[in-house]
Structure 1
Amino acid sequence: MNNSYLKIGISVMLLLLISPTQAADINAGKTRAAICMGCHGDAGVSKNRMFPSLAGQTSAYLENQLKHFKSGERENPTMSAIAADLSDADIKNLAAYFSSLPGKSAGGDAKLAPEGKDKAAMCMGCHGNKLQGNGQFPKLAGQHPQYLRKQLNEFKSGTRKAGQMNAIAKNLSDEDIKALAEYFGSL
Structure 2
Amino acid sequence: MNNRFIAAAAGLFLAGASLPALAVDGDIEAGEQKASTCIACHGAQGNSTNPEWPSLAGQPAEYTVHQLKLFRDGGREDPLMSSQAAPLSDEDIRDLAVYYEAQEAKHHEADEELAERGKLIYRGGLPNEGVAACIACHGPAGEGIKGAKYPRVGGQHAEYMRKALREYRDGERDSDPNRMMRDIASRMSDEDIEAVTEYMTGLHR
TM-score range, shorter chain: 0.7 to 0.9
**1:143 corresponding residue in structure 2:** 156
Distance 2:138 2:24 in 1: 27
1:22 is displaced (CA, Å) by 8.9
1:72 is displaced (CA, Å) by 1.0
Normalised by the size of structure 1, how large is the TM-score? 0.87
Q: 2:24 touches 2:61 (CA, 8 Å); kept in 1?
A: no
State yes or no: 1:125 paired with 2:169. Answer: no
Long gaps (5+) in structure 2:
1-22, 124-132
**1:106 corresponding residue in structure 2:** 108
Runs of 4+ in 1 over 3 A off after TM superposition: none
Q: RMSD of the alignment, in Å?
A: 1.3
Distance 1:98 1:22 in 2: 12
Distance 2:109 2:77 in 1: 28
Normalised by the size of structure 2, how large is the TM-score? 0.79
Higher relative contact order (CA 8 A, sep 6+): 2
**1:46 corresponding residue in structure 2:** 48
Distance 2:80 2:24 in 1: 28
Q: 1:107 touches 1:144 (CA, 8 Å); kept in 2?
A: no
Distance 1:31 1:139 in 2: 23
Long gaps (5+) in structure 1:
1-20
**1:152 corresponding residue in structure 2:** 165
- Equivalent positions of 1:32-111 (< 5 A) are 32-111=34-113
Count, aligned residues: 167
1:26 is displaced (CA, Å) by 0.5
1:131 is displaced (CA, Å) by 1.5
Distance 2:29 2:46 in 1: 14
- Give the counterpart letter for 1:184 in structure 2: M
